[in-house]
Amino acid sequence: MRRGARVLRLERETPPAWWPRFRGGPRDARTVVVLGRWLGAGMAVCLVTGLISHLLQTPPGWLAPQLPTRPVWGYRVSQGLHVATGLALVPVLLAKLWSVYPRLFAWPPVRSVRHGLARASVAVLVAAALLEVVLGAVNIVGWYPWPFSFRRVHWALAWVLAGALLVHLAVVAPVVVAHWRRARAGDAGDAGEFAGERRSLLRGVGAAAATVTAVTAGQTFPPLRDLTLLAPRHPDHGPQGLPVNRTAAQAGLSEAELSPSVWRLTVTGPRGFTVSLAELRAMPQHTARLPIACVEGWSADAEWTGVRLAELLRRAGAAEGSPVRVVSLQQRGSFGVTEMPGPYAWDPLTLLALRLNGEVLSLDHGFPARVIAPNRPGVCQTKWVGRLEPAGPAGGEADR
């Protein structure tokens, strides 16, 4: 009781003279709710598409044999949406923080244990949201200033963010419900007071988000390609009309070791074999139009020609439907080895590609041979392939 009385008395005191005070501006509950709605919708899109990206890249064992290879552009749309939505959220997040930051200085700072916990959860929410968005944006420009794995931290933060957001929504639910609909003339409260300013603010934030999208989305959405001013990649700038994320030189590969007189493809298995490039070219060639969809948000369609992976696996005596480990000649850095689940390995569209857009693959696109599969993240489309290792009949790791 006595504690309660003290807290109540504190509530009646005015803040000290140095305590910040804010007046006016469209920072009323209705503004905050509308911005929160946009932010929440965008975060939900990022969470779902991020989850898809995670599962396609590193599926749990039970899911790997079920992964869908159609639509061929599925990952392209999903990850394009992820990065486009994440970038559009930047102005919305800034506006939301601007609209609520005076509340950081509410008096008294803490009213009760419950109030203290609610405020602490907002601290987690704000920190996680800022970090998630900033890390993502820094990653897509190819800058890695931190020592940790972007992917692991971004993944863990996504769950922290989702949890903090749920707690936050529970706490603010009454305010959200009260201001979900626009106030009508004659309604009580302050909802109508800032209507004009609110409209200007929301229009400004909407215009900022639309502008960010317009100047970046062309990296994945061809109709906007001519507006691609701020995106790190232009979808058709690069050798053979396709961007390159890591060149052969950057991967530590020399022209000599990739030369057709030296290079051989080995496929392991009960009837394992080794072939030269000339022998691969003599096998039946197939052409497929499939996108490269980089996890970093750029993507482009291309026409690939080569040998069906399934045909190579079958010839080596691999069990139908079994997964395959794709091993690149690249020794340095990541993406040298991919585990390809069965559905991709045996899909008729999945190729060990030798040609791109009608020409022999350039060195930087993976000459002499690279993998291209439908509905797969770009990181899994291994270049400079040297070995294919299908899993044994039991499909277990022990067979490898």
Ligand X SMILES: Nc1nc2c(c(=O)[nH]1)N[C@H]1C(S)=C(S)[C@@H](COP(=O)(O)O)O[C@H]1N2
Among 56, 242, 318, 327, binds ligand X (CB under 6 A): 242
Collect all residues with Cβ–Cβ distance below 8 Å to 352 and sequence separation of at least 6: 265, 280, 306, 307, 308, 309, 312, 369, 370, 371, 385, 388
By beta-carbon proximity to ligand X, the closer residue of 252 and 321 is 252
Interacting stretch for ligand HEM, rule CB under 6 A, among 13-21, 96-104, 134-142, 222-230? 134-142
Site for ligand HEM in 23-62 (CB under 6 A): 43, 46-47, 50-51, 53-54, 57
Question: At its nearest, how many Å lie between ligand HEM and the CB of residue 80?
Answer: 11
Residue 212 binds ligand HEM, judged by CB under 6 A? no
234-253: contacts with Mo ion (CB under 5 A): 245
User: Nearest approach, Cβ of 246 to Mo ion (angstroms)?
Assistant: 8
- Cβ proximity to ligand HEM: between 133 and 373 the closer is 133
In angstroms, the CA 241 to CA 210 distance is 28
Eight-state DSSP code of residue 377: B
The side-by-side arrangement of strands in the sheet containing 273-275 is 273-275, 265-267, 385-390, 324-328, 337-340
380 and 309 in contact (C-beta within 8 Å)? no
**Residues 71-110 contacting ligand HEM, CB under 6 A:** 82-83, 86-87
Instruction: Based on the shown chain and the rule CB under 6 A, indicate whether residue 251 belongs to the binding site for ligand X.
Output: yes
Does 294 bind Mo ion (CB under 5 A)? Our answer is yes
Q: Is 291 in the site for Mo ion (CB under 5 A)?
A: no
- List CB contacts of 240: < 8 A, sequence separation 6 or more: 302, 356, 357, 359, 361, 362, 365
Looking at the Cβ atoms of 197 and 301, the one nearer to ligand X is 301
Whole-angstrom CA distances from 138 to 64, 142, 190, 313 are 30, 7, 40, 40
- Does residue 49 bind ligand X (CB under 6 A)? no
Calpha distance 85→87 (Å, rounded): 5
Residue ranges in the chain assigned as alpha helix (H): 2-12, 29-57, 74-100, 113-140, 150-179, 195-216, 255-258, 277-282, 309-315, 342-345
In the complex, minimum distance from the CB of residue 359 to Mo ion, in angstroms, rounded to a whole number: 22
- Confirm or reject binding of residue 161 to ligand HEM (CB under 6 A): yes
Residue 215 Cβ vs ligand HEM, minimum distance, rounded to whole Å: 13
Tokens 């704000």 sit at which residue?
126
Task: Verify binding: residue 151, ligand HEM, rule CB under 6 A.
Answer: yes
Q: Report which residue's Cβ sits closest to ligand X.
A: 378
Which residues fall within 8 angstroms of residue 207, CB to CB, at 6 or more apart?
Answer: none
**Structure tokens that stand for 291 in this block:** 């996108």
Burial class (CB in 10 A: 0-12, 13-18, 19+), 365: buried
Among 384, 389, 390, 391, binds ligand X (CB under 6 A): 384
Distance (Å, whole) CA 102 – CA 140: 32
Which amino acid is present at 154? H
Kindly write out the interface string for residues 347-366 of this chain, putting x where it contacts ligand X by CB under 6 A and - elsewhere.
------------------xx
State yes or no: residue 296 binds ligand HEM (CB under 6 A): yes
Using CB under 6 A as the binding rule, whether residue 133 contacts ligand HEM is answered as yes
Nearest approach in angstroms of CB 301 to ligand X is 12
Q: How far is the CB of 149 from ligand X (least distance, A)?
A: 14
Smaller CB separation from ligand HEM, 136 or 323: 136
DSSP state of 142: T
Interacting residues toward ligand X by CB under 6 A? 242-246, 251, 292, 294, 328, 330, 335-336, 365-366, 378-379, 381-384
